[in-house]
Every structure is written in C-alpha cells, then in structure tokens.
C-alpha cells in the first residue's frame, strides 16, 4: 500500500502568513510579468524590423526615455523576486534538514538582492554619451 505523506505545515503562524503573501505575490506578479514580458518582446523583436534592429544604439535610444527605464526596471524586479520566491517554495518543499533549508533560502535571497542592485544600477546609471568615440554616432547624444 502506498502511503502519501501529508504536506508539511508552516512552522509557525507568522510563517503561514508569509506563505499566504508569497502565494498572492506569485499570482499578481505573474499577471504583471505577462504584460511586461510580452510588451518587451513585441517592441524589441516584432516591431520596426525585428531582431536586426537590436544594437547598442537601439538600447541607448530606448533608455533615453524614462518610461522604458521604468518598464525594464519593473520587469527586472518582478522577475527576480518572482523566480526567487518560486525557488524558495521548491527548497522548502524538498529539503528535509532545517539548516540546509535556511542556508539555501539565505543564499537565494542574497543572490536575488545582489542581481537587483546590479541590474538597477545598470538601468539607472546607463549613459551612452560617456565615450566620445560613440557619442557622435548616436542621435541621443546630440
């Protein structure tokens, strides 16, 4: 006879509340990510000549508009937190030793925060006109 174990319940009432918010975040961020990602793909790959248009100049022109910086920043933040939360759920489901679970979850969030900081720095500090050899070829720098 096959015995199916009952799912492990959250460790405390506080953990149960966190799991509920994590579950809700996954659903809401997933809907926003669908719009952001498909918008990103349509703008970058379908319109105005397809994939051949993507170059440094294309990104520089796109990121000259604050709207696209916010769009890409939101996509970065939502996707990284969404993915990390999904991995956290998998780690919680499949790790049996408490110390290993804590180490893996801590590592996941450290990597997530590091990538968010680095990605946000790239988006917010991007300046295509820094190099004078490139700036004369870009319409954004004129």
pLDDT for residue 19: 83
Which residue, among 103, 93, 78, has the nearest Cα to 26 in the 3D structure? 78
Q: How far is CA 101 from the centre of its chain?
A: 23
Residue 3 reports pLDDT greater than 80: no
CA 70 to chain centre: 13
* Per-residue model confidence as pLDDT tens digits over 50-106: 788 888 888 888 888 899 999 999 999 999 999 999 999 999 989 889 999 999 999
Q: Is the predicted pLDDT of residue 131 greater than 70, yes or no?
A: no
pLDDT at 50: 79
Query: pTM for the complete prediction?
Result: 0.80
> Three-state SS for 7?
coil
Contacts of 79 (CB under 8 A, 6+ apart): 33, 37
């Amino acid at each position: 006879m096959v015995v199916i174990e009952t799912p492990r319940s959250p460790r405390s009432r506080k953990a149960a509340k966190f799991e509920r918010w994590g579950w809700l975040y996954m659903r809401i961020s997933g809907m926003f990510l669908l719009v952001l990602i498909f918008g990103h793909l349509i703008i970058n790959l379908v319109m105005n000549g397809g994939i051949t248009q993507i170059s440094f100049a294309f990104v520089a022109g796109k990121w000259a508009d604050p709207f696209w910086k916010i769009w890409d920043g939101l996509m970065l933040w939502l996707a990284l937190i969404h993915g990390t939360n999904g991995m956290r759920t998998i780690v919680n489901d499949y790790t049996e030793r408490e110390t290993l679970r804590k180490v893996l979850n801590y590592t996941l969030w450290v990597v997530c925060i590091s990538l968010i900081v680095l990605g946000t720095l790239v988006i917010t500090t991007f300046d295509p006109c820094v190099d004078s050899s490139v700036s004369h070829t870009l319409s954004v720098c004129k």
